[in-house]
Structure 1
Amino acid sequence: MTTTLALAARLRALPDDALVAVLRARPVRRAGVSDFFDLAEALLDPEAVQRALAPLDRLRLAVLTVAGRAGDARSAEWIAARLSEHAATEGATTDAVRAAVDELAGLALLQPADDGAAPYDAVTGRLDTWPALGLPGPAALLDTAPPAAPAPLTADELAAADRLAAERAFEAVAAVSELLAELRREGARELQKGGLALPAAKRLAEALAVDAAVVPVALSVAARAGLAAIADGVWLPTDDADSWQHATTAARWHDLAAAWLDGLPADLAPLLADRSRAPWGDALRAHLAWLHPASVAETAERAGAHLAEAEWLGVTAGRGPGSAGAALLESGPDAATAAMVAHFPAEVSQVYLQHDLTVISPGPLAPEVEARLRTMADLESRALASTFRFSAASVDRAVTAGETAASIHDFLASVSLTGVPQPLDYLIADAVERHGRVRVRDAEPGAEGKAVVRSDDATLLGTIAVDQSLSALRLLRADDTTLVSRFPRDVVFWALSDARYPVVAEDASGVLVTPQRARVAPRGPSAPSRDPAAELVARLRQADAAEEDTGEQWLARQLDQAVRARQTVVVQVAMPDGRLVDYLLEPTGIGGGRLRGRDRAADIERTLPLSSVKGLRSVD
């Protein structure tokens, strides 16, 4: 029997880090848990056991079933041999069983021992109740063979998948790049309950030119690759986003695909690798349902998120993986990228500049050209042939970032297949001339407000003062050429810039400065402020050490647990001559300083003084 008594003793003996790991994998309510017996009872509560069993795959459930039938601890070799006799697990190896045993022990579902392992009685008992819950019982878990694997994709199906996959991969890279650019311009608020705020979702969908349902997929892909993260409840690019956006399309897809592969759950990755050249779809869903019989819906939802990202990234296309997807699953991202690049359209580094101030790219732009062009023109449409448009505001934005009329003209002349049209020349010259008509600087110490807005153009300043889009700045007129705001200089500067006014920022001495707007989020999740599992372990250790006589208190709790469970245990008793004798005893009561129980070996009733009882251990 492997009962609460055995688990309590094991938990007490575990190092703190191992105990914390158990509690992270099996969270319990801390209320009412004052010692290791309480913790063991909480972990072996039927509902708690069910929550731990439900996500397990069929191999781990089968290990628990076979080991539970044995009645005592058995080795991994013995368990593997028994599993090989059943249709569901006939291919199970000793190494796979040993790994499963280690995982189950870490979940406090199975008790490891020198000669093997055995599940706790509460676990075996819960599995026996599964048929009444509509779940497969022990026999069904062992004897239900997996669904048949589908036939591989044909050559024609693979060729079609490759074409579609390349198109999707290229679009995904462009969409993530656009997402990061939009997040850099303005972050996206994340709701406390999870998911983007509706206005942010709509804005991102419009910027990416996709349906709103695609935005969470793009955001998940970017986050998984470490390109976007949440900081203070707002989605922002990370430090790595800028270098990624300047890399080649092939290198960018490589990073996204590698992150998708690394993010696959441990149970899903080998399954997908085994089906790297076969259709997924219904056949894959059927296999997942067989693999996780107690959590069919949850598994389908969990896998569905990864499969949706695979389809969006071009790892799969339609029925299953293309050549690049198969290479990714079999050989890794380098081989996958080599296969994918063969189907990518060639990048171009020159564009057509039109008299209507538009820019037409005859193909996908090289990243370094596109990044520079986007600092001075707005994207109108993105496709294999993208369109950009110049405006006074876009040129003003470039000048604010440090460009000059000469640097803009030189760049455009170097990339244009049609020269620089005269209307564009006029626009650049006019925008540069207008730039700086509005100046923002910090207010003098002690002055009213935090920022000062100045302009010699009284009409322009009056327009700013009554502009409803700037009402949040609380701009107040100080004189004919000055407005003041209670907000800092940079906040006022970017608000005026977004409203498309020709604004510059100055330091206290009047020297032009370029405020840095972009915020970045730290890569990876931030460390939680508190760890409930570690806190509970610390409290249990403190309570254990606070007892006046820890050894006696522990022995008393062990005996009490054995009496309540009517569990046969080995009791170590000190004899008058100094010898230690073990009795196989089923305790029946404690009182008057004595332990009463039935000696199972001698089949007699014994009464032992508690003062002579030196130890207790469960019988496995």
Structure 2
Amino acid sequence: MSTLADHLRALPDDGLAALIRLRPDLVIPLPSDLSALAVRAQSRLSVARALDGLDRFTVEVLDAVRYLRPDPSLDAVLALTAQGGAGPARVRAAIDELRALALVYGSDHALHVVGTVDEVMALPAGLGRTAAELDPAAAELAADPAKLRRTVLGAPPAARAVLDRLAAGPPLGALATPLADDSPVRYLLEHHLLVRVSEDTVELPREMALVLRRDAGPLGQLHPDPPPLAGPDDARAQGGIGTRALREAQKKADRAGAGQALEAVRQTEALLEALAEEPAAELRTGGLGVRDLRRISRATGVDEPTAALLLEVAHAAGILGDDETGFLPSTLYDGWQVAPLAMRWRMLAAAWFGMPRSAGLVGQRDDKDRLIAALSPEVERLGAPAARRALFDVLADLPEGIAATAEELAAVLAWRSPRRHGRNRSLPVAGILGEAAALGFTALGMLTSYARPLLAEQADPDEDPLGVNDTGAPDAAAVLDALLPPPVDAVLIQADLSVVVPGPAEPALAAELALVADAESANALRITTTSVRRALDAGYSATDLHALFARRSRTPVPQALTYLVDDVARRHGGLRAGTAAAYLRSEDESLVAEVQADRRLAALGLRRLAPTVLITATPPARLLEALRAAGYAPVREDATGAAVLARPKARRAPARPAVTVRREDPLAMPLLSPARLGGVVEQLRRGDAAARAARRAPLSVRTATQNGTNAHNDAMVVLQQAVRDRARVWVGYVDAHGSSMSRLVRPVSIGGGYLRAEDERTETQHTFALHRITAAELETT
């Protein structure tokens, strides 16, 4: 039987390159020759990685080869799989895939399975060990097929149900002890249909399972096709749905998703503004405390799970950072805040798609029964990007306008990669879909049209470094921008001083509205005495505010608003506070007297220095707060008497890089470009040729450093003669790592302490230091 190394040597260059492209871990680091490559291809870790990428049907075909071993023919595999309902074309395609991965090799007359596969996978087709391996009594029963059939078919219904469940696989079952007298498992053990393999485990022998599988064959029913994605009720009868209806369904989903994307951007901005106003301290163990998350949630009106998700995404996008004071917006936030809405969403969506974190864990308890905090190390999951990629690859394969449920998507994922997403490895499909819907990535159970370009953007740059295959597909932000309402630069001011924003506001308008009005909902604000005073504190004058409202309002400015601005402005700055600890002065003596006599301000300890001046030991900030609470409108001034503007300086955390979205998860191997594959294959071929040549070197050359034969001077004589005769010679030498090597070369010259020679097999030139040469012997024909 040929070995895997012999099989790899027989492969053409494109076949070897295809293997390396499918299993790039085999050449990281680059093996010295093809024998080393074969050893690595049979390692447990590499085989497990290759098996993880197989779909359910390919695994079932591999089980068929393992079941028929040793070395079954392709015809035998086709006959066995036909019993399970698989067509020969599909089986041949699966065998070709297994051969391409070097998990199966050999001719159609003798298929060999890499031995490590049995160590990584369970017993083939969910069948147990043979009765002879488990128990003599069971082996005696299995030796009589007629008696075995009568015993199995004569089992009581409860015992037969246990047999059917174990026959479907896996063949091992947990055993409850002690067994009741009427237990079906006791019956099966007493009749040797089950074998007890430990105190709490039983196993169904293979012969018994084959009797139960007599209708579908030893492998059972095979699954050459993935489960169907039927979609919602109105799409189940797809034959009755026309293209126009599907297009309308997709448009409806796009509109709903675009609205949610807009809401996600707004909520993220609100959360970050709340943190800018009052940063949240970082826990000693890392992350955002539950109380801080609850406070931010109440202040912004965003529920806690959504707030945790958006904060995680903002942190991954780099617009949320932290410093010694805690979590607060980073320096990148200001640029993100003024960017177009579609670009802002794209930045959040790309960060979510690639971040190695799972926000759904926030609020759950860890293995020590402690709550998992947002932005904490416990939320990190390196496999999260690959899980999202796998799920959205399924969604992207659906035609536009067709939705699918979480259960249907989980079933397809389990078929595509049973070792990753199959039994006991369930992917949190519902959680990922919930996060995607909250971000507007999906809507109404289907992928939005603007999310599809974002998935396509995750191509590896090595596949097309010059961009020659660029299809010119629209950017995700451009597709979303066409769905969003255009930004507005005007508002509707109502008679009750409410402000209606008829769409997403331009950044400049949004900044002005945040200063002169208080938000009541996403598109509704209200102008109040407090908001007008806030604008005056920031440096606006009454004239400026009148001009702002006249410029921005599409409706006539209400007279009540004009009166409000004039009234607040007339009283604004009538009092001026300074440092004494603090002082209070006014040109209006009666106003000063009124303040001093106001009982609500008695705690300030105001003293009158002059008819127009009061002083207090209270700091200016506390003085201003108390006066405003009492209904006055003071303005702070500096040492020169100039008014101090109240616009606060925004605090920002240091910028942090956003998450880099890769095509694969962080644990995956890199994709190799065709040029790199060609170089790897060439180097492997040369290394293998050199290794085989070295194994054919004369014994005197290979053992020169051990037994001292062929002194150095004798080697020099042989080499000088070879240079004159242009003859090939075996050279033994010690390489830079101290290893003894041998190579068949044709010497070109000797001089300067070096031998220069060419290797005709690999078409390369070599330079040997003369003091490292241990032996030389002419080639014998």
TM-score (norm 2): 0.45
Partner of 1:411: 548
Alignment map for 1:139-150 (pairs within 5 Å): 147-148=226-227, 150=229
Deviations 1:507-539 (A, max 9, x none): 34333333634211122279xxxxxxxxxxxxx
Q: Secondary structure at the match of 1:267?
A: helix
Distance 1:615-1:248 versus aligned 2 partners, 3 A rule: closer
**Is the Cα contact below 8 Å between 1:358 and 1:390 reproduced in 2?**
yes
Matched, 1:275 2:367: no
Give the AA of the match of 1:373. L
Partner of 2:557: 420
Give the CA deviation at 1:393.
1.4
Partner of 1:300: 427
Q: Relative to structure 2, which stretch is displaced further, 507-516 or 402-411?
A: 507-516
Give the AA of the match of 2:427. A
Partner of 1:211: 303
Alignment map for 1:41-190 (pairs within 5 Å): 58-59=52-53, 91=97, 147-148=226-227, 150=229, 154-190=246-282
Give the CA deviation at 1:146.
8.6
Query: C-alpha distance in 2, partners of 1:214/1:500?
Result: 39
Distance 1:458-1:183 versus aligned 2 partners, 3 A rule: farther
Give the CA deviation at 1:145.
7.6
Matched, 1:482 2:619: no
Distance 1:330-1:492 versus aligned 2 partners, 3 A rule: farther
Query: C-alpha distance in 1, partners of 2:627/2:327?
Result: 23
Distance 1:575-1:308 versus aligned 2 partners, 3 A rule: same
Match 1:341 to one of 455, 477, 481 = 481
Give the CA deviation at 1:341.
3.0
**Is the Cα contact below 8 Å between 2:518 and 2:527 reproduced in 1?**
yes
Query: C-alpha distance in 1, partners of 2:617/2:300?
Result: 37
Deviations 1:392-432 (A, max 9, x none): 21111112222111111101001112322222122212222
Query: C-alpha distance in 1, partners of 2:355/2:482?
Result: 25
Partner of 1:247: 339
Q: Secondary structure at the match of 2:510?
A: helix
Q: Secondary structure at the match of 1:349?
A: coil
Distance 1:145-1:240 versus aligned 2 partners, 3 A rule: farther
Match 1:315 to one of 441, 445, 459 = 441
Matched, 1:390 2:527: yes
Distance 1:575-1:365 versus aligned 2 partners, 3 A rule: closer
Q: Secondary structure at the match of 2:520?
A: strand
Give the CA deviation at 1:214.
1.6
**Is the Cα contact below 8 Å between 1:254 and 1:334 reproduced in 2?**
no
Query: C-alpha distance in 2, partners of 1:493/1:334?
Result: 55
Match 1:510 to one of 621, 641, 652 = 641
Query: C-alpha distance in 2, partners of 1:209/1:162?
Result: 25
Partner of 1:284: 409
Distance 1:413-1:60 versus aligned 2 partners, 3 A rule: same
Partner of 2:328: 236
Give the CA deviation at 1:186.
2.6
**Is the Cα contact below 8 Å between 2:541 and 2:569 reproduced in 1?**
yes
Q: Secondary structure at the match of 1:512?
A: coil
Distance 1:197-1:493 versus aligned 2 partners, 3 A rule: farther
Partner of 2:490: 350
Query: C-alpha distance in 1, partners of 2:49/2:293?
Result: 32
Query: C-alpha distance in 2, partners of 1:160/1:299?
Result: 31
**Is the Cα contact below 8 Å between 2:328 and 2:651 reproduced in 1?**
yes
- Gap runs ≥5 in structure 1: 1-48, 67-83, 99-117, 444-450, 467-474, 527-571, 581-613
Give the AA of the match of 1:482. I
Give the AA of the match of 1:229. G
Q: Secondary structure at the match of 2:435?
A: helix
Give the AA of the match of 2:582. V
Query: C-alpha distance in 1, partners of 2:102/2:607?
Result: 82
Give the CA deviation at 1:88.
8.4
Partner of 2:582: 452
Query: C-alpha distance in 1, partners of 2:312/2:456?
Result: 23
Query: C-alpha distance in 2, partners of 1:215/1:577?
Result: 76
Distance 1:225-1:442 versus aligned 2 partners, 3 A rule: farther
**Is the Cα contact below 8 Å between 2:601 and 2:627 reproduced in 1?**
no
Query: C-alpha distance in 1, partners of 2:92/2:636?
Result: 76
TM-score (norm 1): 0.55
Query: C-alpha distance in 2, partners of 1:201/1:360?
Result: 30
Distance 1:149-1:298 versus aligned 2 partners, 3 A rule: same
Q: Secondary structure at the match of 2:488?
A: coil
**Is the Cα contact below 8 Å between 1:57 and 1:292 reproduced in 2?**
no
Distance 1:434-1:165 versus aligned 2 partners, 3 A rule: same
Query: C-alpha distance in 1, partners of 2:553/2:482?
Result: 27
Give the CA deviation at 1:478.
6.7
Q: Secondary structure at the match of 1:314?
A: coil
Give the AA of the match of 2:454. L
Q: Secondary structure at the match of 1:513?
A: coil
Query: C-alpha distance in 1, partners of 2:288/2:259?
Result: 27
**Is the Cα contact below 8 Å between 2:276 and 2:650 reproduced in 1?**
yes
Query: C-alpha distance in 2, partners of 1:60/1:460?
Result: 82
Distance 1:128-1:93 versus aligned 2 partners, 3 A rule: closer
Give the AA of the match of 1:361. V
**Is the Cα contact below 8 Å between 1:239 and 1:520 reproduced in 2?**
yes
Give the AA of the match of 1:300. L
Partner of 1:257: 349
Deviations 1:339-360 (A, max 9, x none): 3233323443322222322212
Give the CA deviation at 1:157.
3.6
**Is the Cα contact below 8 Å between 2:322 and 2:330 reproduced in 1?**
no
Distance 1:387-1:322 versus aligned 2 partners, 3 A rule: same
Distance 1:175-1:501 versus aligned 2 partners, 3 A rule: farther
Give the AA of the match of 2:438. W
* Aligned sequence identity (%): 30
**Is the Cα contact below 8 Å between 1:136 and 1:293 reproduced in 2?**
no
**Is the Cα contact below 8 Å between 1:88 and 1:144 reproduced in 2?**
no
- The structure with the largest alpha-carbon Rg is 2
**Is the Cα contact below 8 Å between 2:52 and 2:420 reproduced in 1?**
no
Q: Secondary structure at the match of 1:276?
A: helix
Distance 1:485-1:308 versus aligned 2 partners, 3 A rule: farther
Distance 1:162-1:407 versus aligned 2 partners, 3 A rule: same
- Measured on the aligned residues, the alpha-carbon RMSD in Å equals 5.4
Give the AA of the match of 2:343. A
Distance 1:147-1:495 versus aligned 2 partners, 3 A rule: farther
Matched, 1:379 2:506: no
Partner of 2:451: 325
Give the CA deviation at 1:171.
1.6
